[in-house]
């Protein structure tokens, strides 16, 4: 889980390219554990409230990793990549057309 804000690192700073088609199972084929979706949804809602009210510590520039098997969280700092094709110093992606698949995105 992460919070993305203008001027901070973006998703492509972490994952430059989408994985090849078929490399990762889709949510419809692998399934979704509802309890995890609920846990992450509650955390994301809390982050929105914090950002809107300007309170607490923002997750911008951080990635929270949740291990449900050990019930543990780990926070990793994510720096903005100056060479990032989306938010870097000289972006090459300037619109949403034709830049990677969304086939593996669960929604």
| Catalytic status, residue 13 | no
Alpha carbons 75 and 91: distance in angstroms, whole number: 27
Q: State phi, psi for 71 to the nearest 5 degrees.
A: 50, 55
Mapped onto helix, strand or coil, the DSSP state of residue 16 is coil
Alpha carbons 71 and 21: distance in angstroms, whole number: 31
Q: Find residue 75's DSSP bridge partners.
A: 64
* Residue in 13, 27, 84, 106 annotated catalytic: 27
Contact 23, 30 (CB under 8 A): no
Task: Provide the annotated active-site residues.
Answer: 27
């Amino acid at each position: 889980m992460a919070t993305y804000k203008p001027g901070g690192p973006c998703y492509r700073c972490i994952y430059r390219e989408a994985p090849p088609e078929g490399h990762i199972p889709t949510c419809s084929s692998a399934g979704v554990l509802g309890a995890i979706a609920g846990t992450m949804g509650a955390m994301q809602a809390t982050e929105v409230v914090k950002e809107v009210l300007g309170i607490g510590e923002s997750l911008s520039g951080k990635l929270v990793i949740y291990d449900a098997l050990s019930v543990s969280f780990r926070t990793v700092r994510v720096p903005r990549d100056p060479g990032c094709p989306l938010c870097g110093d000289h972006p090459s992606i300037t619109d949403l057309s034709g830049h990677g698949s969304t086939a593996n995105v669960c929604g």
